[in-house]
Structure 1
Amino acid sequence: MEGPLLLACNHPNSFLDAVILDILFKKPIWSLARGDVFKNPFYTRLLTWLKILPVYRTSEGVENLESNYTTFEACKDIFMNRGIVLMFSEGQCINEWHLRPLKKGTARLAIRSWKNGIDLNVLPVGFNYSSFRKFGKNIFLNFGGIITKDDIIINETDGKNHLSFNARLQEELAPLIFEIPTEDIMLQEKLLVVKPGKMSKIVLSLPAFIGLIFNAPFYLPLRSFARLKTSHTDHYDSVLTALLVLLYPFYLLLVAGLLCWITGSWISWLILLVLPFSAWAYVQLKDQLDK
């Protein structure tokens, strides 16, 4: 979809939400993130390079709220160049299957853009993950109906304008997001699990076992490290996924190099194909829920 476009999403799984949308869309997506991450100058440069801009909340210091105007001006420039911006309308990331009350940030950005003559479209997006603690998961990504300036009251007071926008966005997002209590395993299985067929279980059982044995030395230490670094937060899944994606190629090269050195045969390099396939096979057959 072409811009100017504002993606208005729920936020169940940290920066993994943004990565998934960035992969799906042809155009690069600018994301808005919590302002407290930008305290370090190095992180500020890195996040800006990654097309991530800060949005500050009152809890992060009233003195920082002025910076939001700079971010909104940057978004205005992006929209005028037919770009795409992603905003998590709930504000905070929480690992759950539930649509929380919407903050005012998305409404402010959309209405400000419309009042500046930008023909902005707002696309509601709903994320639903089968797991927040395991690598390899089912993701149910749903898109709602486009919201335009003709659907919203924008000529009243700011308060009424924001209420009008959030009411419409809530109406669009609600059907896109599964409402599942954390303790309701039966409902999770019904809505989130995709069961493999009998033939798949037969064909993939041996490769899956190989994948479990040979990938465990790589996976288990990273899982422990991610748990340690993200305790008491909802960022574990995203951090673990990033570590696995970044480091797995080096693990493959290490294993292939060791086998080649031990056997003296170039055939050992086929492990570069065998190990990823075996890992994929294991993911197809493993438990899909965090139970």
Structure 2
Amino acid sequence: MLYQYLKIIAGIAIRIYCRRIVINKPELLREKGPLLLACNHPNSFLDSIILDTLMKQPVWSLARGDVFKKPVYRKGLAALRILPVYRSSEGVENLSENYKTFEACLELFRRNGIITIYSEGKCINEWHLRPLKKGTARLAVKAWEENIPLRILPVALNYSSFTRFGKNLFINFGEPITADVIAGHAADGMRNLEFNNRLRYELEKGVYEIPASDKNQLKEKLSVPVPAVMKVLLFFPGWLGWLINLAPFLVARRNAIRRPKEPGHYDALVMGILLLIYPVYVLLITLLLLFFTHSNWSFCFPLLALFTAWAYVQVKPQFEK
């Protein structure tokens, strides 16, 4: 129930937080399991939020194990369909927990589930594909050994910014990978290597390689033109949206700046905080309007807030000057 509720809320929020989402093969959003989404990892848990909201079938995600330390967090994350993956830096004693996650993934595949895995391992805000870890290959090969008809769908995520509200996102799906890729290889090492070579080939086709200092190339590859008539029509609604929605955004930004223990999570934290506080903010303003005006028009405020926020995102500059 919690997952379905948040998927609806996040689905609305993503259309505002992301100015434009461009997908090369949108029909693949309707793919059914057993399916493993093998992605690059440029933007923390925002990557998972976006993929979860876009895919038609519910999606499970794998996340770093240190956020599962407290039992209350573990239960909440499980309700959100998130499973832990521990790294040696999070305690060697926790590595055995990965076997439980591994088996849980296989069971989900047996039930035709979909799982997201980040094949680079660590999240870094950059336009670059890093070396792939072995986890994706091991999970895929094990599923095939158990005769699970698993398909791996390479997913390349390309954001126009890792700090700006109202970003463009280009999602490039690669060709699905099946068990045929390891045919003829008996040794585990060779099968894993062959799998990773194929996965890297597919991801390299979709991940944009752009130096962070090359602003011209960023604009060339990641901008989306806005018709002049649209800019004119949305100018006043857009700036009204800036006034209406400034307060919750400033609260989210202030808290996001304070919280990260390591770089790479600011963007996702802003989105996550807004998902929590924005519905409360809109409800509070609606009730205040109703209290002072006694008008049923007050109930239109949520739609006004959302529309004007969307309008502002459409007309604001896409990149830093």
TM-score normalised by structure 2 residue count: 0.86
SS at 2:172's partner residue? strand
CA contact (8 A) 1:153 1:164 kept: no
Match of 1:171 in 2: 201
| 1:83-114 CA distance string (max 9 Å, x none) | 11111000001111111100000011001111
Question: What is the letter of the counterpart of residue 30 of structure 1?
Answer: W
Question: What is the letter of the counterpart of residue 164 of structure 2?
Answer: K
CA contact (8 A) 1:56 1:64 kept: yes
CA contact (8 A) 1:8 1:122 kept: yes
- The size of the alignment, in residue pairs, is 291
Distance 1:184 1:240 in 2: 25
Pick aligned residue for 1:44 from 52, 65, 74? 74
Pick aligned residue for 1:284 from 292, 302, 314? 314
Match of 1:99 in 2: 129
Distance 1:177 1:248 in 2: 32
TM-score normalised by structure 1 residue count: 0.94
Deviation at 1:126, TM superposition (A): 0.6
SS at 1:204's partner residue? helix
Pick aligned residue for 1:234 from 257, 264, 284? 264
Match of 1:18 in 2: 48
Distance 1:239 1:144 in 2: 28
CA contact (8 A) 1:201 1:285 kept: yes
Distance 2:167 2:289 in 1: 31
CA contact (8 A) 1:132 1:290 kept: no
Single out whichever of 132-141 and 149-158 deviates more from structure 2: 149-158
Question: What is the letter of the counterpart of residue 141 of structure 1?
Answer: I
Match of 2:220 in 1: 190
Single out whichever of 11-20 and 57-66 deviates more from structure 2: 57-66
- Contiguous gaps of at least 5 residues in structure 1: none
1:162 lines up with 2:192 in the alignment? yes
Question: What is the letter of the counterpart of residue 220 of structure 1?
Answer: L
Pick aligned residue for 2:167 from 117, 137, 147? 137
SS at 2:36's partner residue? strand
Match of 2:26 in 1: none
1:273 lines up with 2:306 in the alignment? no
Distance 2:271 2:102 in 1: 30
Deviation at 1:153, TM superposition (A): 4.9
Single out whichever of 263-272 and 175-184 deviates more from structure 2: 263-272
Q: How large is the Cα RMSD of the aligned pairs?
A: 1.7
Deviation at 1:174, TM superposition (A): 0.3
SS at 2:197's partner residue? helix
Relative distance call for 1:154 and 1:268 in structure 2 (3 A) is same
SS at 1:98's partner residue? coil
Distance 1:62 1:232 in 2: 21
1:65 lines up with 2:95 in the alignment? yes
Relative distance call for 1:157 and 1:57 in structure 2 (3 A) is farther
Distance 2:289 2:212 in 1: 44
Match of 1:33 in 2: 63
CA contact (8 A) 1:111 1:154 kept: no
- Contiguous gaps of at least 5 residues in structure 2: 1-30
Q: Identity over the aligned pairs, expressed in percent?
A: 52
Distance 2:276 2:66 in 1: 25
| Correspondence list, 1:113-128, <5 A | 113-128=143-158
Match of 1:252 in 2: 282
Relative distance call for 1:253 and 1:67 in structure 2 (3 A) is closer
Question: What is the letter of the counterpart of residue 44 of structure 1?
Answer: R
